[in-house]
Structure 1
């Protein structure tokens, strides 16, 4: 995949973010999108080969729509400034997300503001064995890659059913359990970019497996 072509398209789209421009450049968009899907397909096969628990997710299934949802966010532009995709997308499991954009690129995963039932399951898992999660989060290579959990909404007090002197109170207060590794355009344009993605996937795997165990047990 020539990611330079993808970045060039997104920059032109940002300058001309309208349905009229997209209609006039529809073929160009599909060429970029199809190339990205092919790259995702190749990555999907690679991850499937190295992880026996991986849930095969073809690129066409994993890629997100480039249209913003204007019904719920009417002030947003018509189109996003990035291409996003989720792989290893088994139902009700922690996501592995790839975003390549002109303003923000990242590799991320976990649960972003999960539904109440999943959130309760994660908290129950932490209550039962929070030490395992702490060990994962505190590992040096994990810290170097992600820096810890994504900062998001957090309770001020212990969640219902847990005491304020709980040994893992700081973790229990979280409403999001996700990590993120930022990417630069320079990294994405490197020949070894796929290897970078695979390495981050491997580093993230124990964290995602821990979360998946809490919501499926």
Structure 2
């Protein structure tokens, strides 16, 4: 589970996002990161049983993303992220890109999954899969429980124009115009600090799993 000191550290970081404070509180950061690594390891073991394309051998340390921001080309010079991000990639396709993502931020945490902003070749492959097997995708994203957990799948970034090789009259044009194929579910601080936090997150992921299968199949 996420310890209260981890959320407390992130709250304090928001108010003191500078190198001097961070170095003075490095021990708090190290404790928070170790909590994140342990929590991630717990999730990996449980998630592998739900989605075998998430390797049980994933290194939890490598899954927890850096808290340091790359500010070289950014106007925002704040040096640290105000959250912990965890990337849990699948290995079910040769091309990759499909993953689960855990975002820990006080009051704004969530679990997500799918494929965010695929590169051109991947996007083309996913659109082709939608064109050929749209009914399979719609059975997943229009299922009442899926909508309850994740909201309306179609309400994410779409092209303003019709994608090349497809007609505006295509009955699935709303899906074919999507730029990303992701969903997310909010997580309350209280849920994260529960002893059943990892089980709860994996349970949500189990309902996301059919979407990852569809996307991975498109990239094989």
TM-score, normalised relative to structure 2: 0.92
Q: May I ask how many residue pairs the two structures share in their alignment?
A: 216
Offset of 1:195 from its aligned partner?
A: 1.6
Partners of 1:73 and 1:152 in 2: CA distance: 25
Residues 168, 40 of structure 1: alpha-carbon distance in 2 compared, 3 angstrom cutoff:
same
Question: Is 2:197 the partner of 1:193?
Answer: yes
Offset of 1:135 from its aligned partner?
A: 0.8
Partners of 1:173 and 1:49 in 2: CA distance: 33
Which runs of no fewer than 5 residues in structure 2 stay unpaired?
A: none
| Corresponding residue number in structure 1 for 2:71 | 70
| Corresponding residue number in structure 2 for 1:148 | 152
Partners of 2:73 and 2:111 in 1: CA distance: 25
Alpha carbons 1:97, 1:108 under 8 Å: kept: yes
Equivalent residue of 1:204, what SS?
A: helix
Question: Is 2:33 the partner of 1:29?
Answer: no
1:163-217 deviations in whole A, cap 9, x for unaligned? Answer: 111121010011011001011212212232112101111000000110111122x
Of 92-101 and 43-52, deviating more is 43-52
Structure 1 ranges of 4+ moved more than 4 A: none
1:36-185 to 2 correspondences below 5 Å = 36-56=36-56, 57-75=58-76, 77-90=78-91, 92-149=96-153, 151-185=155-189
Which runs of no fewer than 5 residues in structure 1 stay unpaired?
A: none
Equivalent residue of 2:62, what SS?
A: helix
User: RMSD of the alignment, in Å?
Assistant: 1.7
Greater relative contact order (CA < 8 Å, ≥ 6 in sequence): 2
Residues 95, 47 of structure 1: alpha-carbon distance in 2 compared, 3 angstrom cutoff:
same
TM-score, normalised relative to structure 1: 0.93
1:75-95 deviations in whole A, cap 9, x for unaligned? Answer: 152111111101144361311
Offset of 1:49 from its aligned partner?
A: 3.1
Partners of 2:145 and 2:50 in 1: CA distance: 19
